[in-house]
DNA sequence: TATAAACCTGTTAACGATAACTTAAATTTT
DNA sequence: AAAATTTAAGTTATCGTTAACAGGTTTATA
């Protein structure tokens, strides 16, 4: 049995108390229309005494807008997501929109649940930063075609009525790999997907591109890690996957001398395995991660990684969305790809060199 | 100018299309009441064709409940908050409630804005995990007295109609300090507040208790860091505060030989300062943090810290809230204090000992 | 002074959905 | 076969708010 909420005071109650009509109270509350000073005071007084707080639901229902935007995040524990949320929030707040964050731990079902619950609450628009999946994409398409405003960050989903922001993961992957090649490595492993399942993983594609461009052979046995696992598992636990993958690579005859990991957590897990095996980083094995999470500076040795412009992705996405929301007509689709930056630290180049 | 949303299909539209009344459609959608198979099919068909999606706002307005709970977090980038959100979400999802997260970067104004925006959307209840502040507390009180359901985590706010969950920060602080004393330290500094402003910081109180119990003198000059700064600044930037505070302590004549930092970020910042000064941890200076963030294992040396049972705090808070929401009458206030656990690593006890 | 413009407040009808009630047919029970 | 019950819809009113319009009154302008 659900408790009935104590019936809260409404516009009507205030109106009665102040001896005016609800409409007048509404005008006072929203500070529009004409209200005489005397009436305003009376109403304000009643509002204070009766502790009235407007029912946003009713208001939104009437206005057909909520001044709220939704952000769907895959893994809230991932510093990347957190930073994104910060940036989005900064922009939306400034422009007078509330932000509701909904988390979907990377399953299609939860994705859809998150979309629907935000849509049901009629957020004015949605920023989606979860990974692509069939059912979720379809759902998104339908929502967009219904006039729902959507901006995607990083998600491999494209629609002519939705804007899109992403880091150039492919190029980032390329540069990470190229860096290892420049350091003299020729046997470079990849942790985080496998050859057949990595088609959609841009970072991995960049890795392949770099090998090809340098006429290095792609060795399937150097590529390990199930394609989904790293995404399904929440942030910090991908560390374990990195650890296990590295174990496999270490057991290989004629093993790689350098590793590119799909993200920093994976890389850090791999580092544990390397150290556990009594090998030195970067002398015996060099390693590059991706994302430049705050932890990357503090590992030992510090982790070379690819930094993506997280804040900018967030704020640009927010700008796109607000523009879309406030536009009279659905505007042209906007797309922005941002450059990544290779951050060289001690895990690829020995300190002091 | 705000774009008018393409008028979306409503119950009425479906009703017209299917040749029935809105009520019948409602019955089909909500699967209650009697509907014949034939009618149901017709309606279902129309729903599918016209891509109807229920307006949750209207529904909630009528039902006076939203099946949604709100979580107010101080700093989304803080792993503690992230873990909390995870745990809360797990419970609420399982019980059929959506979770909306709102972030308030620890200012009273934003706190209140977050409360209000969630309240305006009529979430069925609120879990508040931000730090206490005068205006926010007052606002919370009013909301509770209006029948709003609230559970606090860690926040130093008490109300007879709101449940409360927290880690035993005082005891945790005590144990951290006692550990340093057990290691032979007598000159123990604290980073994160000052003597006058630390009354509300339980961890600091625990530190004082431990000194007292061991008949060690409290040296005001060993206690540094402004009381609010660490909270106002978002997570990762408190690192800087720790760094600066440590610099000050290092400059002291007859400086401390051990440090207890109010949280791990602060501790990590302090470690940077110590290493930069060419001192060894723990030989020249031992250090203890608080929270056991994932990074703590990976610092060099690894960080001794106090772990709080984050997940349990989140899930217990969620349980309390749902119980409160679903109770016929406001239930008795519940309160739960959870034990912390000292995790000894290399920053206090040299590795291999 | 006549007339336009600005000011103040009220009335009505929604926004989209549903609870509670009603009517009427189809089943079941006695 | 009559009464009781179940099934299947429809009707009405309402959740709390606001846009749009309509009257009045006061002030400014020609």
Question: Nearest-CA distance from A214 to chain B in Å?
Answer: 34
- Distance CA(A206)–CA(A209), nearest Å, equals 5
Query: Considering the entire predicted model, what is its pTM?
Result: 0.89
- The DSSP letter of residue B303 is P
CB of A21 lies under 7 Å from some atom of strand D: no
Give the SS3 label for residue B150.
strand
pLDDT score, position B67? 92
Residue A328: which of B3, B56, B328 has the nearest Cβ?
B3
Q: Which residue's CA shows the smallest distance to C1' of C26? A: B36
For residue A353, pLDDT over 60 is answered with no
- Distance CA(B277)–CA(B187), nearest Å, equals 19
Q: pLDDT digits over B54-92, tens only? A: 999 999 999 998 999 999 998 888 888 999 999 999 999
Q: B59 to chain A: which residues are within 8 Å by CB?
A: 120
Question: Nearest-CA distance from A122 to chain B in Å?
Answer: 7
In the sheet with A286-288, reading across from the earlier edge strand, the strands are A223-224, A188-191, A258-261, A286-288
- Distance CA(B223)–CA(B217), nearest Å, equals 12
| Nucleotide closest to residue A23 (CA–C1') | D18
| Pairwise CB contact (< 8 Å): B65 & A2 | yes
Q: pLDDT digits over A166-176, tens only? A: 999 999 999 99
pLDDT score, position B316? 98
Residue A337 parent element (H or E)? strand A335-338
Question: Nearest-CA distance from B102 to chain A in Å?
Answer: 6
- Distance CA(B206)–CA(B210), nearest Å, equals 6
Residue ranges of alpha helices (H) inside A158-299 are: 169-182, 202-213, 229-232, 238-250, 264-276
A59 touches chain B (CB under 8 A): yes
List % helix, strand, coil for chain A (3-state, nearest 5).
45, 15, 40
For residue B17, pLDDT over 70 is answered with yes
Residue A45 parent element (H or E)? helix A37-49
CB A256 within 8 A of CB A184: no
pLDDT score, position A88? 97
Residues 100-119 of A with CB under 8 A from B: 100-103, 110, 113, 116-117, 119
Q: B83 to chain A: which residues are within 8 Å by CB?
A: 77
A299 touches chain B (CB under 8 A): yes
Burial class (CB within 10 angstroms; exposed 0-12, middle 13-18, buried 19+) of A349 = middle
Picking from B274, B314, B266, B256, the residue whose alpha carbon sits closest to that of residue B290 is B266
CA atoms within a 13 Å half-sphere pointing along the CA-CB vector of A84? 28
CA B120 to C1' D17, whole Å: 12
| Pairwise CB contact (< 8 Å): B53 & A120 | yes
pLDDT score, position A328? 79
Q: For A90, phi and psi rounded to 5 degrees?
A: -55, -50
What are the angstrom distances between the C-alpha of B226 and each of B194, B238, B241, B262? 6, 11, 9, 12
CB atoms within 10 A of CB B40: 17
- The DSSP letter of residue B190 is E
| Pairwise CB contact (< 8 Å): A82 & B77 | yes
Burial class (CB within 10 angstroms; exposed 0-12, middle 13-18, buried 19+) of B333 = middle
Residue B306 parent element (H or E)? strand B305-307
Strand-strand pairing, B98-103 and B125-128: unpaired
CB atoms within 10 A of CB B31: 8
Q: Per residue in B128-154, is it b (16+ CB within 10 Å) or e — as a string? A: bbbbbbeebbebbbebbeeebbbbbbb
| Pairwise CB contact (< 8 Å): B4 & A64 | yes
Distance, C-alpha B205 to centroid of its chain: 21
Higher pLDDT, B173 or B116: B173
pLDDT score, position B262? 93
pLDDT score, position A8? 80
In the sheet with A125-128, reading across from the earlier edge strand, the strands are A335-338, A163-167, A150-153, A125-128, A68-73, A98-103, B98-103, B68-73, B125-128, B150-153, B163-167, B335-338
CB of A65 lies under 7 Å from some atom of strand D: no
CB atoms within 10 A of CB A223: 25
Average the pLDDT over A318-337 and give the result: 93
Question: Nearest-CA distance from B220 to chain A in Å?
Answer: 31
Residue A64: which of B5, B146, B234 has the nearest Cβ?
B5
Q: pLDDT digits over A219-269, tens only? A: 999 999 876 554 444 455 588 889 999 999 999 999 999 999 999 999 999
Q: pLDDT digits over B135-187, tens only? A: 999 999 988 988 899 999 999 999 999 999 999 999 999 999 999 999 999 99
Q: Name which of A37-41, B118-122, B212-216, B322-326 the model is least confident about.
A: B118-122
**Secondary structure string (H, E, C) spanning B238-300:** HHHHHHHHHHHHHCCCCCCCEEEECCHHHHHHHHHHHHHCCCCCCCCCEEECCECCHHHHCCC
CB of B31 lies under 7 Å from some atom of strand C: no
pLDDT score, position A6? 55
> What does the block give as tokens for B142?
């009013």
| Percent of the residues in chain B that have a pLDDT greater than 70, as a whole number | 94
Burial class (CB within 10 angstroms; exposed 0-12, middle 13-18, buried 19+) of A113 = middle
pLDDT score, position B227? 65
Q: pLDDT digits over A34-89, tens only? A: 999 999 999 999 999 998 989 999 999 999 989 999 999 988 888 889 999 999 99
Average the pLDDT over B304-328 and give the result: 95
A74 touches chain B (CB under 8 A): no
CB A207 within 8 A of CB A225: no
pLDDT score, position B232? 46
Average the pLDDT over A192-214 and give the result: 91
Q: Which single residue is written with the structure tokens 């009354």? A: B199
| Percent of the residues in chain A that have a pLDDT greater than 70, as a whole number | 94
CA angle A125/A127/A129 to nearest 5° reads 160
Residue A48: which residues within 8 A CB-CB, separation 6 or more?
Answer: none
Q: A59 to chain B: which residues are within 8 Å by CB?
A: 120
Q: A66 to chain B: which residues are within 8 Å by CB?
A: 57, 121
For residue B10, pLDDT over 90 is answered with yes
What's chain A's average pLDDT?
91
Higher pLDDT, A309 or B350: A309
- Distance CA(B223)–CA(B236), nearest Å, equals 21
Picking from B264, B260, B271, the residue whose alpha carbon sits closest to that of residue B238 is B264
> What does the block give as tokens for A117?
């619950």
Q: pLDDT digits over B227-237, tens only? A: 655 444 445 55
What are the angstrom distances between the C-alpha of A66 and each of A37, A76, A115? 29, 24, 16
Average the pLDDT over B19-40 and give the result: 95
């Amino acid at each position: 049995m659900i408790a009935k909420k104590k019936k809260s005071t409404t516009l009507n109650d205030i109106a009665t108390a102040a001896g005016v009509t609800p409409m007048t109270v509404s005008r006072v509350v929203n500070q529009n229309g004409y209200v005489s000073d005397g009436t305003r005071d009376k109403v304000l007084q009643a509002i204070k005494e009766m502790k009235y707080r407007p029912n946003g639901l009713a208001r939104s229902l009437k206005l057909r807008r909520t001044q709220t935007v939704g952000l769907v995040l895959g893994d809230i524990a991932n510093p990347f997501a957190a930073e994104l949320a910060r940036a989005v929030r900064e922009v939306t707040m400034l422009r007078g929109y509330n932000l509701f964050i909904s988390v979907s731990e990377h399953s299609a079902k939860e994705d859809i649940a998150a979309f629907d619950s935000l849509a049901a609450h009629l957020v004015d628009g949605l920023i989606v930063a979860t990974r692509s999946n069939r059912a979720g994409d379809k759902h998104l398409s339908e929502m967009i075609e219904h006039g729902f405003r959507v901006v995607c960050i990083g998600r491999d989903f494209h629609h002519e009525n939705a804007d899109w922001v992403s880091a150039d993961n492919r190029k980032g992957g390329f540069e990470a790999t190229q860096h290892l090649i420049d350091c003299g490595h020729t046997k470079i492993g990849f942790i985080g997907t496998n050859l057949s399942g990595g088609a959609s993983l841009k970072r991995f594609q960049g890795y392949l591109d770099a090998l090809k461009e340098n006429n290095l052979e792609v060795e399937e046995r150097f590529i390990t890690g199930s394609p989904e696992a790293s995404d399904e598992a929440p942030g910090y636990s991908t560390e374990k996957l990195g650890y296990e993958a590295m174990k496999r690579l270490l057991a290989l005859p004629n093993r790689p001398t350098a590793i590119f990991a799909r993200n920093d957590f994976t890389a850090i897990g791999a580092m544990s395995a390397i150290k556990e095996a009594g090998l030195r980083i970067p002398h015996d094995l060099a390693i590059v991660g991706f994302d430049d999470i705050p932890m990357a500076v503090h590992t030992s040795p510090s982790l070379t990684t690819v930094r993506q412009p997280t804040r900018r992705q967030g704020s640009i996405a927010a700008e796109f969305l607000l523009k879309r929301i406030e536009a009279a007509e659905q505007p042209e689709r906007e797309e922005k790809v941002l450059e990544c930056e290779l951050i060289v630290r001690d895990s690829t180049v020995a300190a002091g060199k």
